[in-house]
Amino acid sequence: MIPASKQSTDLIAQAQADPLRPRYHFTSPAAWLNDPNGVAQWDGLYHLFYQYNPEGPFHDRIHWGHAVSEDLVRWRDRPLALSPGSGPDREGCWSGVLVDDGGTPTIVYSGRADGRELPCLAVGSTDLDVWTPLDRPVIDAPPEGLEVTEFRDHCVWREAGRWRQLIGSGIVGAGGTALLYESEDLRSWTELGPLVVGDGHPVRLDDVDWTGTMWECVDFFRLAPGPAGETGAPDGNSADPHLLVFSAWHEGLTLRPFIAIGSYDGRRFSIDRVQRLDLGGRHAYAPQTFRDDHGRRVLWSWMQEGRDDAAQAAAGWSGAMTIPRRLWLDADGGDAAGVVRAEPIAEVESLRSLPLLPLPGPTGQHEFAGTAADVEIAARIETGGRLDVVLFATEDGAEHTDLRVHRRADGAQEIVLDRESSTLAGGCDTSPHAGEVRSTAVETQIRILLDASSVEVFVDGIALTTRVYPTRPDASRIRIESSGGATVTSARAWRLEGAEQPGRVLRP
């Protein structure tokens, strides 16, 4: 049997040797990562906790990893925050949040035991490094009288002098839901009923607008309209729009994240509009947000893999985080309820090093080379016009990933990301992504972040995230082409330096 320390060292070396491992996106030191948890800024320092299995790149006996940063892009590992114990989390410490209980850092999370999850609580040291879980759940069971699909994941805030909590769930025969609770002390909770219930019918896995039979990773907050709109905890006395983030789930399948815009009266949430939070579906799953000291609403998501279990085992790692994103509510975005838009946090630009120089090519074509890159494009796209951006392309075209932005007759822009030729390897998800973008801007603004096997696209603030797995070392070309009534007015690109902590260790 290999000693744990040797196993950890070998696993890290294996993971860091994989050329498809992202270099500037956050990943665990090795092994398995999924949902972002407890994202917060505490005493000026950013904290990222996350679902983590240190034993290997597979989901089992989940712990909470922990990392800290001064700038949201350069991270240092801290000791494991939570590990499965002998009580209500003996099968795993699942997703949750960090709150400030009168100066005491406190984690509310889902402990898994006997095949089900229940709300648990852990109290932390002032540096957030040492955590002491309670030996019992703080809620013993789902509400009586409701037949629920699942019961896990938490959003906790202070409102009117009391604690409020949402737990992700679903009501059999009805749809996904977020169950609302109230407490004086975070330890004894009173059920207040469903905050809102979705539409669980029909079961259509191929319908990108279907919200599933259960809502995971619920998050709820206030966000006033405008690029600098005030954001904060839910408040039933506020007329500000309230936003509910959730991830659609169905019978063990992680489907896609959504965000609902509406009004909140202190007990119930009335939805005016639901939009897809990311057009890449499950590749930007389990979002969680927080408000930082700059007043930004910052969102993290888990970038799920798109290669099979055998490839993940051979790589020694699985899962990464998206780049943190700032959310804002565009009241003039083409819908009466507004449109939620996202952009990479400004700190990402501090990772830019040398600009990527254009490669020789035909007139009207822009071409660069890079696999860890930040690309900015501005274009005028008239009705019928189309902009094509080819990513991770080999010189002979054997491997390539294609982004297309087309202006329809109704004024909306259709986005398609085609992964059919993205890899020569088997066992990879090469299905396409598609969606639409509505904006009143004269010029279309496109931002693309590439990082070894990840692609994050932002078209006028609408995100599309995916994973691709090119096999050839020359799959590095980035080509921008326009046709019809499309004109590129600006195209720039930079190499992004890796931000992964050197010499990372799997801490006990």
Catalytic residue annotation: 35
Q: Residue 104: count other Cβ atoms within 10 Å of its Cβ.
A: 12
Q: Residue 296: count other Cβ atoms within 10 Å of its Cβ.
A: 21
**Euclidean distance between CA atoms 287 and 258, whole angstroms:** 9
How would you classify the pairing of strands 454-459 and 444-451?
Answer: antiparallel
Q: Which two tokens stand for residue 81?
A: 């925050």
Q: Residue 417: count other Cβ atoms within 10 Å of its Cβ.
A: 25
* Per-residue burial over 28-43, b = 16 or more CB atoms within 10 Å of its CB, e = otherwise: bbbbbbbbbbbbbbbe
Residue type, 408: R
Whole-Å CA distances, 103 to 47, 123, 164, 165? 16, 11, 18, 19
* Largest Cα–Cα separation, the chain: 68
The enclosing H or E element of 16 equals helix 4-16
Q: Of 442, 364, 467, 452, give the one whose Cα is nearest residue 22.
A: 452
Name the 3-class secondary structure at 310: helix
Within 8 A by CB and 6+ apart from 442, the residues are 380
- For the CA atoms of 163, 164, 169, 173, the dihedral, rounded to the nearest 10 degrees, stands at 140
**Euclidean distance between CA atoms 455 and 448, whole angstroms:** 7
Q: Residue 307: count other Cβ atoms within 10 Å of its Cβ.
A: 21
**Count of residues in the chain:** 508
Q: Of 20, 17, 73, 23, give the one whose Cα is nearest residue 497.
A: 23
